[in-house]
Amino acid sequence: MTIPLSGKDVASKIEEKFPGSVVESSQDNLVVKGNFLLDAARFLRDTEGLDLDFLNFVTAVDYYDHFEVVYWLSSLEHNHSLTIKARCYDRENPVLPSVVGLWQGADLQEREIFDLFGIKFEDHPNMKRIFLWEGFAGHPLRKDFI
């Protein structure tokens, strides 16, 4: 069985390394600040004992007042998993750092989030719309789209 890591335990480890980076944590997941996302992600991937080398998926959820980007990570070696989240409060121009440099698997998925939610990922090599055409008005998966 894949063991879900406790968000609280991992949060304390991240907090130790990067103070002030974790917004909140629970048993299931932890939320990191957007500007610390890349550091936290690198820490999770490279730390001995965590080794979260496999990014299962990236997605976003629109909560009207903020976007929540969900990263579901797992380690093939230790067979455990962890959900981390990052929030964006800016609806007009939401920006988060891209994790493509760490997990290439995020490439197409971040483009998809950009297309359907309008969240821009900085330093993504090819930040273009993926399903809809250039010039499509709005971002369909936002709750205020229709």
Partner 1 sequence: MAVRTEPFVLNMGPVHPSTHGVFRMRATLDGEVVIDIEPVFGYLHRGIEKLAEQRTYTGITPLTDRLDYISSMSNNLAYCLAVEKLAGIKVPERAEYIRVIMAELQRIAALLIAVGAFLNDCGAYFTPFLYMFRERERIVDLFEMVSGQRLTYNYMRAGGVSQDLPEEFMPALRKFMDMMPRFMDEYDRLLMQNEILIARAKGVGILTGEQAINCSVSGPVLRASGVNWDIRKADPYSIYDRFDFDIPTQATGDCYDRYRQRVEEMRQSLRIIRQAMEQLPSGPVRAELPQLIRPPTGEAYARIEAPKGELGFYLVSDNSIAPYRCHIRPPSLINLTALRDMVRGWKVADLIIIFGSIDITVGEIDR
Residues in contact with partner 1, shown as a per-residue x/- string from 92 to 111 under the rule CB under 8 A: -----------xxxxxxx--
As a whole number of angstroms, the distance between CA 89 and CA 109 comes to 20
Nearer to partner 1, 76 or 95 (CB): 76
**Using CB under 8 A, which residues numbered 49 to 88 contact partner 1?**
53-57, 59, 61-62, 70, 72, 76, 79, 83
- Least distance to partner 1, CB of residue 57, Å: 4
As a whole number of angstroms, the distance between CA 84 and CA 96 comes to 14
Tell how strand 3-4 and strand 54-62 pair up: unpaired
Nearer to partner 1, 15 or 68 (CB): 68
Instruction: Tell me the DSSP string of 32-77.
Output: E-GGGHHHHHHHHHHSTTT---EEEEEEEEE-SS-EEEEEEEEETT
H or E element that contains 109: helix 106-117
Tokens of 57: 């998926």
Nearer to partner 1, 21 or 74 (CB): 74
- Least distance to partner 1, CB of residue 88, Å: 15
**DSSP label at residue 16:** H
Nearer to partner 1, 35 or 126 (CB): 126
Residues making contact with partner 1 (CB under 8 A): 1-2, 28, 53-57, 59, 61-62, 70, 72, 76, 79, 83, 103-109, 112, 116, 126, 129-133, 140-141
